[in-house]
């Protein structure tokens, strides 16, 4: 099975390029990179005017099993419930595998 590239773009309730946004991005980096299976984690800033979201996260999983384990991991579940849902105004997830 192919590796999965998981990306999410999002906009925060607090807006962009401010202390609150920076704190959220740094907290997210620390929490999410500590979950087993997360590889190539990147925090991204939107530069296109064609997308309504300000930021993005990108990470790679070895396979579907690693991705599912990440989604079910207690740290991820807690992060989504206690941080993500209160800070993120809108988002879109994309999960991709290489075309073979």
pLDDT digits (tens, 9 = 90+) for 36-51: 999 999 999 999 999 9
- pLDDT band, residue 100 (cuts 50/70/90): confident
| pLDDT over 80 (residue 12) | yes
Please report which confidence band the pLDDT of residue 52 belongs to, taking 50, 70 and 90 as the band edges. Answer: very high
With 70 as the cut, is the pLDDT of residue 31 above it? yes
HSE value, Cβ hemisphere, 13 Å, CA-based, for 93? 7
> Does residue 99 surpass a pLDDT of 90?
no
Report the chain's mean pLDDT, rounded to a whole number. 96
What percentage of the chain exceeds 90 in pLDDT? Answer: 94
Helix or strand run (H / E) with residue 24: helix 19-33
Identify any residues that bridge with 95 across adjacent strands, giving them in sequence order: 6
The C-alpha angle 66, 70, 74, rounded to 5 degrees, equals: 140
């Amino acid at each position: 099975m192919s590796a999965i590239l998981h990306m999410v773009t999002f906009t925060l309730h607090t807006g962009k390029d401010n202390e609150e946004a920076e704190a959220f991005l740094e907290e997210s980096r620390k929490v999410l990179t500590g979950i087993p299976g997360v590889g190539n984690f990147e925090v991204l800033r939107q530069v296109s005017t064609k997308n309504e979201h300000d930021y993005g996260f990108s990470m790679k999983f070895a396979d579907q099993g690693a991705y599912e384990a990440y989604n079910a991991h207690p740290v991820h579940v807690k992060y989504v419930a206690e941080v993500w849902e209160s800070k993120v105004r809108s988002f879109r997830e994309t999960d991709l595998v290489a075309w073979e």
